[in-house]
């Protein structure tokens, strides 16, 4: 057995001799930081092993650990085999700075859920209509009544003197309630690969009542969609585990909303979910394996409407969950919601939409044409693969300005623990402006350029490679710069491919919408300096925050918006960059700073 002490909790586990420590922790619901799913690649799953054990640190593991960490008995859990009792300490998670704000423009309310008062005539020898007919004739156009509602009919009618509230969804009677019941709520959810943002909405007024954000609990199985898909294929029960943790998280969110706002869970009648195509498959428990393999065909892309009970979500017993439509394996419902909330599909002028999260999705178009592509660029901008990279959590350096002292700001203040995407972009932009980084991305030595002493002393060597000191213990290394080059080059190249495909130039693009958490916090000028977005478009940037969440809210309160979203998904033309030779050429050209 061994004890895991993290988040002020302890757990004692019994394992078989030789069990992999990482897999043991994950399978028991204990989160260990990682982005590779335990494949010895990311170097993030650091734990402290206090009990003496004989297993030596090999070369492959040792390259991820500093001398200080080795002296502190830090290990990578994915390399450790359990052969005897050991005490393991897992670092507590930092609180994430999750973006929940987003802009949207709702034209009119058109909710699918309708609650109305009914005063029914009582039965008599002259009126022997059955109870259900008495209700449905008063409502009109009801063609479906679930058994659970039918069972309630005589009870509700008799106990309320034939006065009641009916709740219908389209032509289905989903609930009958006491005449005092007035509340009608829905929940909109954006399930991101890394984070979840949820919104409680009053379906009578369209008002956003509350918001809740959390880290996606599926991260214990891997930091990106490919790793999670791989987990569902390697583990016999992997897909069920993925679906279960999402259902549990959604139930937790609903419970928090109800307790905090004194709401009866029966008064939550509908939920709209957006997310990338893989997240939707996992939330539904549908095998996503073909998303990861050519020709990259998902099981579905259409709008899915199901009873919440079918996927274990606890709300009104006959309530519905709507999954917005996707376009392709790598252009999901979140991007459809982005397009909807930005209203770019309505305009005559061309707009560019970039959503930079764990992946980077790009859309260009107007009311006549929309084309899209996806690039594997996001992870670097979220800290993955960066030496001291981290997500946008408390303690992360989020902005860098080498003309100020101190040169950085930290989310939540205090001592920095890492650097997140917006800070990395700032730092590299600052180094480019000071010519510390040359156009090819090479970091110059302090002897090659003339800088003031404070800046020049920051150019150092870190574990045998050039590095730039941001804070006392946090550096930007030459390897980090190369990672950002690859990521920004992919996005810029994707933009160019779509522009060429649609036949327009930079001058034709009138607006640049940047969506997503990372996109909301970067400085457009810094993004332009490193070549993430074209310089000629810098002044056209509009940061629209969590546009996916905004689009989910719009479709929750308006059936008309849901129909528009469905039409947008049909209209978007997807371009697969991996099969486009033009992308390779543009990618090489886009690598320069």
pLDDT at 553 over 90: yes
Give me the mean pLDDT over the 264-285 stretch: 98
Percentage of the chain with pLDDT > 70? 94
Q: Residue 577 and residue 149: Cα distance in Å, rounded? A: 50
Split at pLDDT 50, 70, 90, the class of 579 is: confident
Q: Residue 409 and residue 397: Cα distance in Å, rounded? A: 6
- Give the strand pairing for 195-202 and 208-215: antiparallel
Query: Of 63 and 357, which is predicted with more confidence?
Result: 63
Q: Is the peptide bond before 170 cis (omega within 30 degrees of 0)?
A: no
**Sheet with 418-419, edge to edge strand ranges:** 408-410, 396-400, 418-419
- Mean pLDDT lowest among 47-51, 155-159, 442-446, 459-463: 47-51
Show Cβ contacts of residue 148 under 8 Å, excluding neighbours closer than 6 positions.
317, 318
Predicted pLDDT of residue 3: 42
pLDDT at 393 over 50: yes
Query: Of 8 and 59, which is predicted with more confidence?
Result: 59
Q: Do residues 550 and 556 make contact, with C-beta atoms less than 8 angstroms apart? A: no
Query: Of 47 and 369, which is predicted with more confidence?
Result: 369
What DSSP string runs through 420-480? -HHHHHHHHHHHHHTTSB-TTSPBPPTTTS---HHHHTTEEEETTEEEEEEETTEEEEHHH
pLDDT at 43 over 90: no
Paired strand residues for 275: 191
Q: Residues 291-312: pLDDT tens digits?
A: 999 899 999 999 999 999 999 9
Q: Do residues 324 and 272 make contact, with C-beta atoms less than 8 angstroms apart? A: yes
SS3 labels along 201-268: EECCCCCEEEEEEEECHHHHHCCCHHHHHHHHHHCCCHHHHHHHHHHHHHHHHHHHHHHHHCCCHHHE
Query: Of 222 and 172, which is predicted with more confidence?
Result: 172
Split at pLDDT 50, 70, 90, the class of 23 is: confident
Average pLDDT taken over every residue of the chain: 90
Predicted pLDDT of residue 394: 83
Q: Do residues 522 and 487 make contact, with C-beta atoms less than 8 angstroms apart? A: no
Predicted pLDDT of residue 97: 47
Give me the mean pLDDT over the 534-553 stretch: 93
In terms of average pLDDT, the best of 68-72, 328-332, 384-388 is 328-332
CA atoms within 13 A on the CB side of 583: 16
Question: At 497, phi and psi to the nearest 5?
Answer: -60, -45
Q: Residues 507-524: pLDDT tens digits?
A: 999 999 999 867 778 999
Give me the mean pLDDT over the 194-204 stretch: 93
Q: Which 3 state secondary structure label does DSSP give 396?
A: strand
pLDDT at 503 over 70: yes
- Burial class, 565, CB count within 10 angstroms (exposed 0-12 / middle 13-18 / buried 19+): buried
- Check the CA dihedral 568-569-575-578 and report its sign: positive
pLDDT at 54 over 60: no
Q: Residue 289 and residue 232: Cα distance in Å, rounded? A: 8
Q: Do residues 422 and 416 make contact, with C-beta atoms less than 8 angstroms apart? A: no
Q: Residue 423 and residue 521: Cα distance in Å, rounded? A: 9
Predicted pLDDT of residue 24: 83
Q: Which helix (H) or strand (E) covers residue 136, if one does?
A: helix 131-139
- Mean pLDDT lowest among 18-32, 253-267, 323-337: 18-32
For residue 320, give the nearest of 335, 333, 304 by alpha carbon: 304
Q: Residues 443-498: pLDDT tens digits?
A: 999 999 999 999 999 999 998 899 999 998 899 999 999 999 999 999 999 999 99
Give me the mean pLDDT over the 157-176 stretch: 96
Predicted pLDDT of residue 30: 78
Predicted pLDDT of residue 8: 55
pLDDT at 382 over 90: no
């Amino acid at each position: 057995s061994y004890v895991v002490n993290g988040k002020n909790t302890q757990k004692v586990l019994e394992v078989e001799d030789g069990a992999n420590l990482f897999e043991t922790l994950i399978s028991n619901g204990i989160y260990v930081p990682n982005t590779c799913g335990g494949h010895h690649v990311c170097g993030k799953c650091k734990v402290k092993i206090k009990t003496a054990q004989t297993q030596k640190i090999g070369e492959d593991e040792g390259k991820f650990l500093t001398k200080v960490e080795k002296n502190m008995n830090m290990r990578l859990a994915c390399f450790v085999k359990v052969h005897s009792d050991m005490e393991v300490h897992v670092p507590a998670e930092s609180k994430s700075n999750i973006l929940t704000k987003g802009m949207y423009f709702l034209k009119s309310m058109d909710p699918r859920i309708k609650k109305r008062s009914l005063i029914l005539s009582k039965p008599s020898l002259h009126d022997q209509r059955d109870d259900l007919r008495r209700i449905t004739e008063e409502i009109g156009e009801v063609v479906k009544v679930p058994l659970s509602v039918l069972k309630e009919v005589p009870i509700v009618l008799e106990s309320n003197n034939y006065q009641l509230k009916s709740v219908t969804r389209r032509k289905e009677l989903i609930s009958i309630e006491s005449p005092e019941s007035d509340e009608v709520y829905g929940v909109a959810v954006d399930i991101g690969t890394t984070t979840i943002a949820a919104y409680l909405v009053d379906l009578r007024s369209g008002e956003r009542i509350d918001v809740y954000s959390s880290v996606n609990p599926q991260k214990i199985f891997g930091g990106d969609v490919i790793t999670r898909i791989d987990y569902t294929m390697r583990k016999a029960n992997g897909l069920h585990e993925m679906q279960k943790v999402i259902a549990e998280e959604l139930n937790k969110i609903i419970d928090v909303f109800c307790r905090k706002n004194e709401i009866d869970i029966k008064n939550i009648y509908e939920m709209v979910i957006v997310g990338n195509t893989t997240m939707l498959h996992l939330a539904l428990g549908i095998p996503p394996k073909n998303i990861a393999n050519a020709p990259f065909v998902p099981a579905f892309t259409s709008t899915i409407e199901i009873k919440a009970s079918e996927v274990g979500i606890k709300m009104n017993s006959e309530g519905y969950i709507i999954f917005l439509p996707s376009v392709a394996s790598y252009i999901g419902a979140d991007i459809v919601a982005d397009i909807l909330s930005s209203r770019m599909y309505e305009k005559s002028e061309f707009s560019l939409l970039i959503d930079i999260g764990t992946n980077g999705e790009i859309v260009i178009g107007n009311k006549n044409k929309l084309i899209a592509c996806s690039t594997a660029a996001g992870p670097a901008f979220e800290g993955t693969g960066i030496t001291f990279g981290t997500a946008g959590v408390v303690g992360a350096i989020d902005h860098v300005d080498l003309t100020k002292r101190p040169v950085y700001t930290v989310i939540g203040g205090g001592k920095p623990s890492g650097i997140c995407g917006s800070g990395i972009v700032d730092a590299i932009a600052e180094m480019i402006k000071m010519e510390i980084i040359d156009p090819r991305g090479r970091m110059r030595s302090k002897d090659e350029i003339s800088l003031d002493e404070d800046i020049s002393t920051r150019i150092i060597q870190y574990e045998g490679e050039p590095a730039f000191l941001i804070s006392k213990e946090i550096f930007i290394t030459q390897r980090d710069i190369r990672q950002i080059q690859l990521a920004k080059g992919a996005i810029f190249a994707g933009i160019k491919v779509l522009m060429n495909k649609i036949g327009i130039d930079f001058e034709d693009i009138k607006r640049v919408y940047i969506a997503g958490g990372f996109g909301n916090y970067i400085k457009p000028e810094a993004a332009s300096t490193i070549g993430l977005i074209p310089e000629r478009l810098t002044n056209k940037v509009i940061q629209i925050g969590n546009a996916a969440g905004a689009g989910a809210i719009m479709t929750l309160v308006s059936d008309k918006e849901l129909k528009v979203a469905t039409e947008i998904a049909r209209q978007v033309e997807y371009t697969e960059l991996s099969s486009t030779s033009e992308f390779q050429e543009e990618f090489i050209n886009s690598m320069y700073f």
